[in-house]
Amino acid sequence: MEKARQLQAERQRRGLPADVLDCLQFSDKLQVAIQEREFLEALGFGSAGAPKKVVKDLESLRNNLAHGQDVTSHDWPQIARLARRVQQLYGG
């Protein structure tokens, strides 16, 4: 949180709009989200381990996309799991 606040202060110093949430890294946001019981229940997670697996998959996919990795060769299992999860959440 300290680094996020420092980044927020720097953005504000430069005259840029900056909410502290926008200054958190992706993995930090995910870690905060999985601490909220109501959020996990709304997403249909029954165990503590399930959201951690999803976070790991999301972080891996995000990193591979951000660094120009070939996601079609390595990330299909994660993509399929995440797509299936989104489909379940939206009643498909």
Do 50 and 27 share a structural domain? Answer: no
Q: What is the pTM of this model?
A: 0.59
Please tell me whether residues 61 and 28 are part of one structural domain.
no
Evaluate whether 54 touches 46 at the Cβ level (below 8 Å): no
Pairwise CA distance, residues 7 & 22, whole Å: 9
Neighbours of 24 (CB within 10 A): 19
Same-domain pairing of 51 and 12: no
In this structure, are 88 and 64 located in the same domain?
Answer: yes
The pLDDT of residue 35 is 85
Pair 16, 51 in one domain: no
Q: Assess whether 19 and 56 both reside in one domain.
A: no
Number of domains in the chain: 2
Give me the domain span that covers residue 1.
Answer: 1-33
Q: Do 29 and 50 fall within a single domain?
A: no
14 band by pLDDT with thresholds 50, 70 and 90? very high
Tens digits of residue pLDDT in 44-85: 887 778 888 888 888 888 887 877 777 767 777 878 887 887
Distance of alpha carbon 64 from the chain centroid: 14
Query: Helix or strand or coil: residue 18?
Result: coil
Is residue 18 in a domain? Answer: yes
CB within 8 A of 65, min separation 6: which ones?
A: 71
Same domain, 53 and 26: no
For residues 21 and 53, membership in a common domain is answered with no
* Cα–Cα dist 13/65, whole Å: 31
pLDDT at 45: 81
- Residue 35 in 3-state DSSP? coil
